[in-house]
Amino acid sequence: MAGFLGEKEVLTRERIKEILINKEYSFLEEKVSLLGIEGDNLILKISLLLEYRKRMISIEEKDRILVPFKDFKVEDWGDGVHKVADIV
C-alpha cells in the first residue's frame, strides 16, 4: 500500500536519462572545468546539477575528458565592443 502520498520514485540511470531528454527538471546547472593541458589536448571534467521533484541530482564525469585544442574556436574579443577576430 502506497499511502496517500503515493510511492516514492526510485531513480535509475535510465530514468535520469529520460528526465534529461524530456526536460522534466526544474533547475539545471552545467559546469565544465579545465583540469589542465596535456600535449595538444585540453583535460576537461563535466558535471551537471539538476532539481527534479524537490530532489537534487548530481551527474559527474567519471574519467577525465581529453579534447584536442584544435577542435575549439578561439576568438580575440579585444578590450571592448570591437570586431571579433579569430585566433589562428
| Any domain includes 4 | no
Question: For the residues 6-32, what does the mean pLDDT come to?
Answer: 92
| Any domain includes 20 | yes
Question: Is residue 39's pLDDT more than 60?
Answer: yes
| Any domain includes 6 | no
40-76 pLDDT tens trace: 999 999 999 999 999 999 999 999 999 999 999 888 8
Helices (H), the chain: 13-21
| Any domain includes 3 | no
Question: Is residue 13's pLDDT more than 80?
Answer: yes
| Any domain includes 7 | no
Q: Using CA atoms, how far apart are residues 78 and 15, in angstroms rounded to an integer?
A: 45
| Number of separate domains in the chain | 1
pLDDT at 73: 87
Residue numbers of the domain that contains 48: 13-86
